[in-house]
Amino acid sequence: MNGMPTSVRIRLSIMMFMQYLMFAVFWVPLAAYLGNMGVTGMYKATIISSMALGCLVSPIICMIADRHFASQRVLTVLNFACVVLFFLAAKQSSPAGLFVVLLLAMFCYMPTWSLTSAIAMSNCPSEKFPQIRVFGSIGWVASGVFGLVALKVWDTKIDGTAVPLLCGAATALATAILNLTLPNTPPPAKGKEASIIDALGLRAMTLMKDFNFATFIVLSMLVMIPFTMYFSYGSQFFDDQGFTLVTATMNWGQFVEMFLMLLVPIAIVRVGVKWTMVIGLAALLVRYLAFWGGGLYGQTALYFVAILVHGIIFGFFFVGGQVYVDKKAPPEIRAQAQGLIFLICFGIGMLLGNFFNAKLIDIYTTIEVVGDVTQKTFNWNTIWMITTIISAVLLAAFCVLLRDDVRETGGAHAPSSDEGGKAEA
């Protein structure tokens, strides 16, 4: 495929934009909403973990869809289902009811990340895919417009309420209708035997025989513990600090990400895959040092430093990790290996991080009853201190334990050069 019509490019870009917009609009302020509902501790962690649970089942759903139905049709059906489920989620008044509905919604939504990528890559040249995918990040940033409009037009704050879920439902409806215009993408594996082992990437587990790869997998899973403190619970912190536009504020991180993503290929060539990921982990440490220092010294500006480094963290560590997996895996299991790292990080790792951080926040929360009013005081400085220490330990472990054992032209398992402690990647 040497090119694509402009009309196809526009439709694929809109697809990416809308698909990430409909998720970010309610997900970013979800923790703050749960806090205002009075949901704490394990209840909150369970509800927030609906996304991670959706990641665990999405490969199976995508495997079945790839063998029987056109991808754009599956995407349309899943988005129509999200319309109903997001609407129902906004109407739930009990934590149990909200969890059940959101879990069903994530079973429908999380497969769409894979489906949109599959549709885009099937209809555009591979070198053009990043130009299509970046509209997903733009859509994430644009989700903050709902809160801005509500505040400026109706003088109403919607962050921390159920309204973002209704915004998600409305966006999902518009997205599903637009999906009807997407180019046809027939099932690429129609007629082939369906294997849950392949869908879950379990054949890629053979790579774990390599100590270096096993170290990378374990450390990547553990990195999700500090990462999810911001990703899942950041809105709770900003809401507690009195920020009015939580979604718009946090989305500055995705805005910067759009530009920093362009530096990732350059970093990989210049310093190697390992040190590209180290840069991402160093940014993670900077994030929590900024949160900790901002609280200790009353410097709110440092909170924005913590937000703006998100693009470095996500781009350099997670995208760098995908490159590492691609270079380590033999061609016949590269797709499965990518599925494995997705499950490890955004499935198992996020589950672990959500519950760990919910417990951490719970431990350092003081509850006082003044008359008929229950007041909660969060010891954020201690929480950020602990998260900073964890990030520093993981950064050190990554630097010491992981070897840069891949190179650009040396094949999937080529050893790296020891010169300068780096390898070209």
- The pLDDT value recorded for residue 156 is 87
Q: Are residues 166 and 224 in the same domain?
A: no
| C-alpha span between 273 and 328 (Å, rounded) | 11
Residue 191 in domain? no
Could you read off the pLDDT of 78-108 as tens digits, one per residue?
999 999 999 999 999 999 999 999 999 999 9
Lowest mean pLDDT among 125-134, 150-159, 219-228, 284-293: 125-134
Domain final residue pick, 184, 218, 241: 184
Domain final residue pick, 128, 153, 184: 184
Q: Are residues 40 and 98 in the same domain?
A: yes
Domain final residue pick, 184, 219, 241: 184
Nearest to 237 by CA among 422, 353, 376: 376
279 Rama sector, left if φ>0, alpha if ψ -120 to 50, beta otherwise: alpha
3-state secondary structure of 368: strand
Q: Are residues 146 and 264 in the same domain?
A: no
| C-alpha span between 333 and 337 (Å, rounded) | 6
Q: What is the CATH number of the domain that holds 279?
A: 1.20.1250.20
Q: Are residues 256 and 345 in the same domain?
A: yes
Q: How many domains does the chain have?
A: 2
Percentage of the residues of the chain whose pLDDT score is greater than 90: 51
Q: Are residues 222 and 114 in the same domain?
A: no
Lowest mean pLDDT among 114-123, 238-247, 300-309, 368-377: 368-377
| C-alpha span between 397 and 223 (Å, rounded) | 11
Residue 334 in domain? yes
Q: Is the pLDDT of residue 294 over 90?
A: yes
Q: What is the mean pLDDT of residues 15-27?
A: 95
Between these two residues, 185 and 77, which has the higher pLDDT value? 77
Could you read off the pLDDT of 251-279 as tens digits, one per residue?
888 888 878 877 888 888 899 889 999 99
